[in-house]
Amino acid sequence: MKVTILGNNSALPAFGRHPTAQAVQVWGQVLLLDCGEATQIQMQRYGIRWRNMQHIFISHMHGDHYFGLPGLINSMSLLGRVAPLHLYAPAELWPIIEQIQGVAETVLTYPFHFHPLTPGVSERLVDNEYFSVDSFPVEHRIPCHGFLIESKTRGRKILPDKCRENEIPRYFYDKLKQGEDYEKQDGTIVKNEWVTTEGLPPKKYAYCADTLFTDSFLPHIQGADMVYHECTYLEKDAEKAAVRFHSTARQAAQLAKMANTKQLLLGHYSSKYRELEPFVEEAQLVFPHVTASVEGTTYDV
């Protein structure tokens, strides 16, 4: 699982940083988390292919998290998309999309499915053979959700050379992935561990969206391999953060420590700050494994 940062600023673009958007890559599929202004431009810039994207998740109805969506939806149609697209977002977003498309008499070239999020409720949104996605409520000025993405194991990893050496037919590979031994026609047993290795373990990525400091959603992100948490402000502006339902870098680190996560990824920086290093320095006083997200960078979960 990999996370590419397409935008990591709050409210306004500043200092080369754009409003919030992230692309999470899981087993060749792309999940888009939020879609701030210029997201489709950032996707082109950093090589994120919309043809591999079937699911988009919008956390809440503040413009810096969805203003890029109408353009992206339309562009995919202009470029001939035919695969279905699923959008998970607050119910209030649907009439906005309908009106934009209606006044332009837009007819999409692909099936478009809208799934409204239920305010204040955690729920399973996607569950397939590759990954699952759950929503969970966070605490912001308006209803807002975070998202937990969990990849699924694809079983053991096949060693093709060893399989050929032991004359194992390809039709049996799926059973090898499940850990089965292979029996040859003469009765010889080929042990599974001779021709496979341990597969990649499942991963958990928690996207906490815009929220003030709270432990209310801690059970949903407990033990995640990586947690993205907003840090709109530094600790000197903690009072402002609380009033505006945002968090500081130190508070993000406190939650990461409480969640027992392996990595903390910071973002959603206020436009009042040019430099990002102070966010890391402040967070590392509480939690050591901290990275200040940088646009265009891809992070391994």
Q: Which residues are annotated as catalytic? A: 64
Chain CA centroid to CA 179, Å: 30
State the Cα–Cα distance between residues 147 and 32, nearest whole angstrom: 11
CB atoms within 10 A of CB 132: 17
State the Cα–Cα distance between residues 254 and 234, nearest whole angstrom: 13
